[in-house]
Every structure is written in structure tokens, then in C-alpha cells.
């Protein structure tokens, strides 16, 4: 089947976003040259990856582009016609377990990953399977929150996926055949891979999960052609103590007993070797400054601080490092010496935002489990502002006790791993929020050598009402513009489009489109299983599609399923 | 606790009279034959495994159904879990007099092969009664304990997480109690998660899982 890539013009929609418009025309100047069969997949060039922000045909990055804005620049599906959005096809994967994947689409071929590390290539126009790869997972795996995978990365003619047994595999994108695999870390010590990697300039960047297993977190760069390790940045430096911060990034008292921590430090030394600090969501890449921005997860064990004196750098932080060398550039720690699993996990987003004086500066944004949306200067990671709380905050930061201390947000957030989306024209960021208070129980235990290590237990308090909300925050001011409440906590991700829409799913199976400016509900579809994955969009033969996985969530125990659904407009 | 005799040739069927394996607390010694299972199919054994496996079968059952109430089903259990438990018995992280003794001189390679061998055997079906209808809401307990987060939607586990579905109810109850009482300490997180559950609640969870 021959397929034409259609030039789409978004300049009018992107009025005021001139760079993006320019980028889109450049992309199309490139992609319009070829016509492509699935079996004759076109090579993904660095230039295509760089210009993804304006690419209204493909969906090349897990969060659409290196900045991770999740703003799709095609307006064919829009506020005026979204009511005519219907399933075009439904693909069923072989695994009925959590789906947290973002579909990647290259010239009409979709790649999706599943729980337990299957990968499918699918004809994005028809839903027909092109190939299926199943990773042979080794016997030793350790992961806390479901056998999840959040997606693949593509570059040249290869596709990359991290695996539960802590490997990075490279597949031939045309055939699904394994080209190389490399061990990223030792699963017997609690390392696993669930995040989608990112590829830039022949480097595959991948972090690790395992914050609940006493790992030492990192971000590593592997040679995209060979799998050779190029550099490693450890998220817990050999001096992880920091400045003995008594307040969080917003000035709230952390209620630390610094004198006691200093005593412990004198006794046991720096705890960096098993301090946690996973990087379990995809980094953003600043191509101009050649910096990689990512967020770092919780210290280990999450609830018990008796064996980890100090600020526990760089856990719960935004961190920037040098793309070429992996060397430290800057960081900002949101919650020093965390005891509530308040890890930073929702992928950071690069954008331009006004600083305190109103001057537009290169900024980076992160939506926290804490319930705040933080906006930083890219130059030095310093905080420009933080939003109003987007969920109720109660009893922060009361230390965990053996009997249990109630606090909101709970350990799932605030904003969990869900990627946010940004609408640059409206100056809004859309975050999937969770209200799920928990009691935090302290129970000390020694480092267990790669086993689950919580230092107690989190308990969802059954007496509390739990709910979710899609919250639109003006990142220029930190004010909440609107919110859409949902009956269950939200986990999955958002997609904003130039059609003035925001797409997001719910654990009860609903997949929704709302008006990006007002939050008005415009469209909904019942998928039959939890929609707990970030949506994507793409265009084939001039027709725009919205795609999302409906597989439920192990983490929140939403109904499991196995569907990838693509929607398009009917006449 | 009865301690098996060790001869110059290693542990032998005499072990059958020894303590039940698995949970670490005192054995009840009661027989566990809920029903006759199909004989496990023959899986070719290396010379080394042929030497080791009979000792295991003495308690864990020729046909996969354990001979003792507190010996777990190991046939068809997840390979990673079996390996890690054997490793923990060897390094002392999991305490059980007989198991610690049996594995102490085995190599890491032996443990890997044993884990792979038993994982490859079919899980035996044993008919065990579900919880009686009563005042305990098991679904609520499973949610509160966040059991499915690690053990999976169908409690089949994966990798180093054990399958719980269809495991012996008696073993599940005793090992959960051992976690709660911090007698089994090779997964402290389990101890914390079970901390607030009563013995009756643990029993109800065990029956629910055993009947799956």
C-alpha cells in the first residue's frame, strides 16, 4: 500500500509560536519526499527527531519532542468536530496487564510496548500487525508497581526498549529482530527498566527504576549503534549530604532532626551506595544548550530515614547534566530528606516562561507529587515560581510513625508518573492529579540487598474520599485556570493539540477530550479497561488520528485490558 | 522441631519426617495431601540435579503436592523467586533449620539449576476451600495490603515475586504470620504491609488465595 505523507500547515494555529511553525515546514519539506511501506520503513534521522515539535505527521518521541511538551501541532481534529471522533481500529496485544506505553509513529507505522516487554509494529492506518517481538525476560526481576513499560525510542533503523530484567534492547524497526542488547544494571540488586529511553546524537539515554529497592540511581548513555556504555551520571553523589536543608523548595518546614542525622552520619558515613534516586521517566533534551534535564526519584528506603542522614542528594530533584559528558550542570531539590515517597517523576518540560521580572527566559517545568507545578530557569535550575497547590495538602511534612501519620498528598501524588502536556499559545500546562491521602507507617529494617525496601508501609486510608482532576495551570503565573474533577485518581498522561483539545484517560475506562482553554468536556469514549497511558497523535494519508492504550494500571489496580485504540473523525 | 539426619551422602528421605519447609516457624508436622495430583511429568535431569532433586521432593512432593502443610508448592513457582529464596536460605537471610542446612554447600549454579528445574514443572492443582462467607471483606484487605501491585492482577507473580494463586492455604497463612511477627525477615516490606492484619484476616486472605 502506498501512502502519501501530507503537508499540513499549522502556522495559523501556532500564531505566536513562530519557531514551531518554522520547524513544521522544515519537517514536511523533508518527509514529503518519500512514500513509505511499512516494510520499507524510512530511517529516522537526527534532524527528524530535532524537528519533531513541528511534525504533524509522526509521533517520534514518547513525549512528542525533546522538550516533552506533548503539544501536537495538527488541528484537523478540533473543538468544532471532536464530537465526530470514533474508533478507526482497535489492536489487541497478547498481554492483559497495565499498559503505560505511548505509541510511537513513524511514517504510518506505530510501535507500542506492553507489560512484560512485548513490542508490536502496527499499520497505523488499519491496525494490522506488522511484527511482534517478545523479550525473553531473565528469571531475576524486581519491580515495585507492575510489570510496566512506558514506550520505545526510535532512531535510524533501530527501536530501543528498556526491559524488566534491566537490559536495553535494540530491534530492527523493519523486522522486529534483535540487533543488540546490553545489561544496564543488575536486576538481582533491584534494578529494572520501565521508562522509555530517549535517543540523541547516537546516544541512547536511559535511567533506572528501583527506588524501593536500595539501588544507586543513574542516567546512562549507550552508543546507539553498538550498545557500548558511553557515560554514567550517578544520581546519588559520593557526598549526598548537601546543606542540611530544613525547608522544602517552597519553604515548608521538613521537621528534620538534624542533630540526630549528624550523629548517624558520624556513625555510618555517607549512604550514597544504596540511597535510591531512580530516574524512571524520560529526560528532556535542550538541543541548543546541549543539556539533559531529568527528575530523580525518592531516596531508599522511602519511609525510614534512620539509615540515610543528610539531604540525600540528588533524590527528589530536577537535575541537568551535560549531554556530551554526563557531567553535572545544576539541580534543585524539591523535598530534601524525603520520608513520604515524594519522588520527582512526571517528565520535565522545556519551555519559555516569564521570570519574576516578566522577562521571557528558557525555563523547565515539573509537576510534582507534592501537588505543585514548579517552573525553573534552565540556566541554573533555580526556581522561578511554583503553582497554587493543585490538590489538597494536609499535614505536610509530618514524619511517619509506627502507628501511621496521615498526610495528603499520598505517595502516588499529587502528580504521579503521568506526563503533562503544554499549550504554548494559552500558556497552560495540563496535569493529571491524584487526591489519595495515605497513612505513612515507619518500620525500620536493614538494607535487604535488592529486595523491596520501604522502611514501613503506605496505606491508603479507606475512610478518605479519593478522586482525580485534570488541572490546567498557567505556568506564567502559577494560577490554576480550570480543573476537571474525575471520580478516581488520574494516572496516565495528557496530550494537548493545536485543535484546542486536551486528551486524557481515566481508570474507569473513559477516554476524554476537553477544551484546552476552558476545560469543557467535549467528547468521551468508554474503552472497557483503564485508560492509564499517555495519548499520542499522528497523521496518515492526510487523516489525523488520536491513539491511546487501554490496559489499566497495576499501581492503582484499575481494570486491566489489552487494547490499543486509534480514533479518527467520521463524516 | 524434628531435625533430619545427615549422612555422608547428604540429606535423604529421612527428611520426610523433618520439619515442614518454608516459613521458618515451628512445624505442625501434619500431612498435606488435599487430593491426589497427577504425577509430574518427567523432566530430564542432569547428573548433578539427579543427585539434588530427591531431597527436595521428599517434602515438596513427588507430584508437586507438598507432603506437609507448611511446605510450599514449588513446582511451577516463578524461577526468580525460587532462586532468591534458595540464595537466602544459603546466606541465612531466610531462616529454616533444614533448608539452611540443605543448601549451605550448594553452589550458586546449583541453586540456579534447581530454581529452573522446579519452575519448569507444572503447578499442581489442589482443591482448597475458599473463605467462608463472613464478616471479612477480603477484597478490601487485598487493596489495603496493595497485594496486586507486586503479585499481579491474578496473583501469579513474576520474576522474583512469588505466585500466590493456588498455593497451599496452610503455608500462605503460616508464612504471612511469620512475616507479620518478623520471624521471616527476608522481605521486610512484607512484614510492614502485614503489620496491622489480624490472624483472622491473614487466614481469610490465605484461603482466598489458596482457592484461586
The predicted-structure confidence for B134-175, as pLDDT tens digits, reads as follows 778 999 899 888 898 889 889 999 999 999 999 999 999 999
B186 part of contact set with chain A, CB < 8 Å: yes
A261 CA: distance to closest CA in chain B (Å): 23
Of A86, A79, A19, A11, nearest to A546 (Cα)? A86
Cβ distance of A141 and B80 shorter than 8 Å: yes
The predicted structure's pLDDT at residue B43: 76
A90 CA: distance to closest CA in chain B (Å): 23
B208 part of contact set with chain A, CB < 8 Å: no
Cβ distance of A139 and B148 shorter than 8 Å: no
Cβ distance of A141 and B159 shorter than 8 Å: yes
What are A291's strand-pairing partners?
A286, A322
B193 part of contact set with chain A, CB < 8 Å: yes
Cβ distance of A140 and B195 shorter than 8 Å: no
The predicted structure's pLDDT at residue A41: 59
Do residues A224 and A158 lie in contact, with contact meaning Cβ atoms separated by under 8 Å?
A: yes
Q: A371-388: per-residue pLDDT in tens?
A: 999 999 999 999 999 999
Cβ distance of B192 and A449 shorter than 8 Å: no
**Strand ranges inside A163-241, DSSP E:** 167-172, 178-183, 198-200, 203-206, 218-223, 229-234
- The sheet with strand A456-460 has its strands ordered as A405-407, A438-442, A456-460
Task: Give A308: exposed, middle or buried? Use CB within 10 Å, 0-12, 13-18, 19+.
Answer: buried
Would you say the C-alpha torsion A37, A43, A46, A47 has a positive or negative sign? negative
Q: Among A143, A448, A459, whose Cβ lies nearest the Cβ of B188?
A: A448
State how far the Cα of B98 lies from the Cα of B20, in Å rounded to an integer. 9
CA count, 13 A, side-chain hemisphere, B94: 24
Q: Give me the residues of chain A with pLDDT under 50, please.
A: 1-39
Interface of B with A in 132-161 (CB under 8 A): 140, 143-144, 146, 148-150, 152-153, 158-160
Say which residue the cell 513525549 belongs to. Answer: A63
**Bigger pLDDT: B198 or A27?**
B198
User: Does the annotation mark A341 as catalytic?
Assistant: yes
Annotated catalytic residue within A341, A343, A474, A541: A341
The model's confidence at residue B36, banded by pLDDT at 50, 70 and 90, is very low
What are A432's strand-pairing partners?
A470
All residues of chain B having their beta carbon less than 8 Å from the beta carbon of residue A137 are: 159
Cβ distance of B159 and A456 shorter than 8 Å: no
Three-state DSSP class for B31? strand
Q: A288-336: per-residue pLDDT in tens?
A: 999 999 999 999 999 999 999 999 999 999 999 999 999 999 999 999 9
A509 CA: distance to closest CA in chain B (Å): 17
Three-state DSSP class for A198? strand
pLDDT of B29 higher than 90: no
B181 part of contact set with chain A, CB < 8 Å: no
- A165-168's contacts with Cβ under 8 Å and 24+ in sequence apart are A165/A137, A165/A138, A165/A140, A165/A141, A165/A192, A165/B159, A166/A191, A166/A192, A166/A193, A166/A208, A167/A135, A167/A193, A168/A193, A168/A197, A168/A204, A168/A206, A168/A222, A168/A227
The predicted structure's pLDDT at residue B143: 87
> Is the backbone of residue A116 left (phi > 0), alpha (psi -120 to 50) or beta?
left
Cβ distance of B150 and A140 shorter than 8 Å: no
B25 CA: distance to closest CA in chain A (Å): 20
Of A286, A214, A215, A244, nearest to A66 (Cα)? A286
**Strand ranges inside A326-452, DSSP E:** 328-333, 349-354, 360-367, 373-377, 383-386, 405-407, 421-423, 428-435, 438-442
Q: Among B112, B144, B153, whose Cβ lies nearest the Cβ of A560?
A: B153
Looking at chain B, the whole-number percentage of residues with pLDDT higher than 90 is 64
Do residues A286 and A348 lie in contact, with contact meaning Cβ atoms separated by under 8 Å?
A: no
Would you say the C-alpha torsion A114, A120, A123, A126 has a positive or negative sign? negative
All residues of chain B having their beta carbon less than 8 Å from the beta carbon of residue A165 are: 159
All residues of chain A having their beta carbon less than 8 Å from the beta carbon of residue B190 are: 452
The predicted structure's pLDDT at residue A284: 98
Q: What is the CA radius of gyration of chain B?
A: 16
Full-model pTM = 0.89
Amino acid at each position: 500500500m502506498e501512502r502519501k505523507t501530507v503537508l499540513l500547515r499549522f502556522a495559523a494555529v501556532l500564531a505566536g509560536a513562530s519557531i514551531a511553525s518554522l520547524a513544521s515546514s522544515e519537517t514536511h519539506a523533508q518527509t514529503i519526499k518519500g512514500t513509505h511501506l511499512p516494510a520499507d520503513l524510512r530511517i529516522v534521522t537526527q534532524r527528524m527527531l530535532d524537528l519533531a515539535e513541528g511534525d504533524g505527521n509522526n509521533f517520534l518521541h514518547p513525549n512528542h519532542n525533546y522538550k516533552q511538551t506533548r503539544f501536537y501541532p495538527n488541528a484537523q481534529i478540533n473543538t468544532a468536530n471532536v464530537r465526530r471522533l470514533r474508533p478507526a481500529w482497535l489492536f489487541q496485544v497478547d498481554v492483559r496487564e497495565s499498559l503505560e506505553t505511548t505509541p510511537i509513529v513513524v511514517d504510518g507505522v506505530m510501535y507500542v510496548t506492553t507489560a512484560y516487554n512485548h513490542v508490536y509494529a502496527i499499520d497505523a492506518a488499519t491496525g494490522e500487525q506488522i511484527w511482534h517481538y517478545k523479550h525473553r525476560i531473565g528469571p531475576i526481576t524486581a519491580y515495585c508497581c507492575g510489570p510496566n513499560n512506558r514506550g520505545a525510542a526510535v532512531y535510524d533503523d533501530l527501536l530501543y526498549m528498556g526491559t524488566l530484567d534491566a537490559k536495553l534492547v535494540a530491534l530492527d524497526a523493519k523486522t522486529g529482530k534483535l540487533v543488540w542488547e546490553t545489561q544496564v544494571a543488575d536486576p538481582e540488586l533491584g534494578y529494572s527498566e520501565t521508562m522509555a529511553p530517549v535517543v540523541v546524537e547516537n546516544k541512547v539515554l536511559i535511567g533506572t527504576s528501583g527506588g524501593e529497592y536500595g539501588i544507586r540511581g543513574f542516567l546512562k548513555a549507550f552508543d546507539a549503534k553498538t550498545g557500548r556504555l558511553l557515560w554514567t551520571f550517578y544520581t546519588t553523589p559520593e557526598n549526598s549530604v548537601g546543606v542540611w536543608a530544613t525547608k522544602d523548595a517552597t519553604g515548608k518546614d521538613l521537621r528534620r532532626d538534624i542533630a540526630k542525622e549528624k550523629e548517624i552520619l558520624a556513625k555510618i558515613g555517607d549512604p550514597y551506595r544504596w540511597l535510591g534516586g531512580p530516574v524512571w521517566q524520560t529526560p528532556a533534551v535542550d538541543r541548543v544548550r546541549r543539556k539533559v534535564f531529568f527528575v530523580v526519584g525518592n531516596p531508599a528506603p522511602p519511609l525510614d530515614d534512620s539509615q540515610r542522614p543528610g539531604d540525600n542528594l540528588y533524590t527528589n530533584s530536577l537535575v541537568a547534566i551535560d549531554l556530551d559528558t554526563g557531567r553535572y550542570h545544576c539541580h534543585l531539590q524539591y523535598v530534601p530528606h524525603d520520608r513520604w515517597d515524594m519522588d520527582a517523576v512526571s517528565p520535565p518540560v522545556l519551555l519559555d516562561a516569564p521570570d519574576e521580572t516578566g522577562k521571557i527566559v528558557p525555563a523547565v517545568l515539573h509537576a510534582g507529587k507534592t501537588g505543585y507545578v514548579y517552573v525553573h530557569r534552565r540556566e541554573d535550575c533555580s526556581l522561578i515560581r511554583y503553582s497554587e497547590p493543585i490538590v489538597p495538602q494536609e499535614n505536610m511534612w509530618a514524619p511517619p510513625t509506627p502507628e501511621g501519620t496521615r498526610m495528603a498528598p499520598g505517595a502516588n501524588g499529587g502528580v504521579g508518573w503521568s506526563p503533562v502536556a503544554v499549550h504554548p499559545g494559552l500558556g497552560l500546562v495540563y496535569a493529571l492529579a491524584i487526591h489519595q491521602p495515605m497513612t505513612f507507617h515507619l518500620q525500620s529494617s536493614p538494607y535487604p540487598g535488592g529486595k523491596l525496601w520501604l522502611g514501613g508501609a503506605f496505606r491508603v486510608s479507606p475512610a478518605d474520599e479519593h478522586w482525580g482532576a485534570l488541572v490546567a495551570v498557567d505556568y506564567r503565573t502559577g494560577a490554576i485556570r480550570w480543573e476537571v474533577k474525575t471520580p478516581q485518581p488520574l494516572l496516565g498522561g495528557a496530550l494537548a493539540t493545536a485543535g484546542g483539545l486536551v486528551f486524557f484517560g481515566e481508570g474507569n475506562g473513559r477516554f476524554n477530550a476537553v477544551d484546552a482553554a476552558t476545560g469543557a468536556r467535549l467528547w468521551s469514549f468508554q474503552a472497557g479497561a483503564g485508560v492509564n497511558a499517555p495519548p499520542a497523535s499522528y497523521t496518515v494519508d492526510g487523516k489525523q488520528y488520536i491513539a491511546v492504550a487501554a490496559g489499566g494500571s497495576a499501581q492503582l489496580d484499575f481494570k486491566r485490558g489489552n487494547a490499543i485504540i486509534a480514533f479518527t473523525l467520521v463524516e | 522441631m524434628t531435625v533430619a539426619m545427615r549422612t555422608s551422602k547428604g540429606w535423604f528421605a529421612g527428611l520426610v519426617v523433618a520439619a515442614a519447609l518454608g516459613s521458618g516457624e515451628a512445624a505442625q508436622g501434619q500431612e498435606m495431601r488435599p487430593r491426589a495430583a497427577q504425577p509430574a511429568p518427567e523432566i530430564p535431569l542432569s547428573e548433578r540435579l539427579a543427585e539434588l532433586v530427591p531431597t527436595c521432593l521428599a517434602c515438596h512432593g513427588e507430584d508437586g503436592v507438598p507432603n506437609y502443610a507448611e511446605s510450599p508448592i514449588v513446582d511451577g513457582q516463578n524461577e526468580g523467586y525460587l532462586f532468591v529464596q534458595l540464595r537466602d536460605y544459603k546466606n541465612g537471610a531466610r531462616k529454616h533449620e533444614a533448608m539452611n542446612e540443605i543448601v549451605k554447600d550448594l553452589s550458586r549454579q546449583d541453586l540456579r539449576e534447581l530454581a529452573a528445574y522446579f519452575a519448569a514443572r507444572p503447578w499442581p492443582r489442589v482443591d482448597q476451600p475458599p473463605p467462608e462467607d463472613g464478616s471479612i471483606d477480603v477484597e478490601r484487605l487485598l487493596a489495603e495490603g496493595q497485594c496486586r501491585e507486586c503479585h499481579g492482577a491474578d496473583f501469579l507473580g513474576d520474576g522474583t515475586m512469588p505466585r500466590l494463586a493456588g498455593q497451599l492455604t496452610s503455608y500462605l497463612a503460616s508464612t504471612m504470620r511469620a512475616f507479620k511477627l518478623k520471624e521471616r525477615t527476608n522481605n521486610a516490606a512484607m512484614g510492614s504491609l502485614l503489620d496491622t492484619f489480624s490472624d483472622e484476616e491473614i487466614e481469610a486472605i490465605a484461603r482466598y488465595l489458596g482457592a484461586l
